[in-house]
Homo-oligomer: A and B are copies of this chain.
Amino acid sequence: MRYPAEETARKHQRLLEAASVMVRQKGLDGVSVSEVMKAAGMTHGAFYSHFANKEQMAETALATALVQTDAGVEQVLAARPDPKDSFLHYYLSPAHRDDPGSGCAMAALAAEIGRAGVGRQVMAGHLRGWLDRIAGGFKWAKGSAQRDQAILMTAAMVGAVILARAVDNPELSNEILDATRTQLLERG
């Protein structure tokens, strides 16, 4: 049967939200059409009223996840007095490590995108914007380019969260987060 346009729009939004979370939790290839639809409270048949196919959903979910990641960065950049400190404490926290579904899409999906080919352009655009904002928004040590420092910080944060998620030992996992935060703060 036909549904009110507004309700359909709301359902589509629910779908995007569920897909962006699940994709970060299970990977772009790790979520099935059925489970995304189920999470949004529908049956699998309606999937093709919202997406052309599974690949397009993956791309859309990635884009949505990246937008949410961006929103998080914006929020932190408004923090006073020290946005960089706030950012490092959030990003390298156990909470972020343990909740990939609502966390940074680069840490969750960059590795898979690297081998799949799908989403590499979107990821490049996202990373460019990310680097511009943190290179300009944070205070950096004198003596070397802000952009290079922003790249090191980004690589270290992403790598630290990925490694912290990949080990089963809680002490080692926490140590990775703590040491990375300490080192990045120590250098200015």
Q: Is the interface of A mostly helix, strand, loop or mixed?
A: helix
| Min CB–CB distance A126 → chain B (angstroms) | 9
- Convert A127-160 into 0s and 1s, putting 1 for each residue whose CB lies closer than 8 angstroms to a CB of B: 1100000000000000011011101101111111
- Convert A88-112 into 0s and 1s, putting 1 for each residue whose CB lies closer than 8 angstroms to a CB of B: 0000000000001000001111111
Our pick among B111, B152, B160, B175 for the contact of A111 (Cβ within 8 Å) is B111
Expressed in whole angstroms, the Cα–Cα distance for A154 and B144 within the complex equals: 21
Q: Count chain B CB atoms within 10 A of each CB in A108, A115, A151, A160 and give the residue with the most.
A: A151
**A176 contacts B by Cβ under 8 Å:** yes
**A25 contacts B by Cβ under 8 Å:** yes
Cβ B110 vs Cβ A182 within 8 A: no
6 A-B pairs whose Cβ atoms sit less than 8 Å apart in the complex: A106-B163, A110-B166, A119-B166, A123-B166, A128-B172, A158-B159
